[in-house]
Structure 1
């Protein structure tokens, strides 16, 4: 979960960075960061819980976009390029950190087709009581 907390902070940083680093007057750079930042923070916060942890991977395409955006959008500010590259690399790396799983939630629809699924084991336990 620590990795997703950092990703949420990075998403919030991305929203504020254009004003803090002094390139808020640029046209496309702050717009891009104001769109991508809240989405990164949202997916990171949703993935704090075990049942929704897989949503951390939704930040991967956003991180790749941050790595490509300086060239696709033609950033003319070197500090903005560095910020986009650093945040993109950090978000990309931290999105692959799974976190500790403490509970099992049944395995999804595929578990219904298995004979040794969590549901079948629970049913056997309850039947023996």
Structure 2
């Protein structure tokens, strides 16, 4: 039978090792592309504060907060300078928000039309795309 002191030491060591691993994984993790799969268009904010992902099939637009700066990226989607819808990424660094045609209504973008996705946090970036599939 093992001594209680030996068992406590083993538990303390393994708990400490798990805590270090868990902290290391959280601290160094960058947001992964949401939803997996391939994206038709991706770009980052000039200040490195957000990343935008666009998948034309399904009208999927995802944005991730990539900088620990206390600001949440806001996104506007619309034809030209008109806003069809907008959303903000909640939750801080490493969090993402996604809108898609599966939500219906304004999120179902008409085919063959040119849209611009504008994202802003500290800086702004805008990219147009033609929703052709």
The TM-score with structure 2 as length reference comes to 0.27
Instruction: Give the structure with higher Rg (CA).
Output: 2
Q: Which has the higher contact order (CA 8 A, sep 6+)?
A: 1
Higher strand fraction (1 or 2):
2
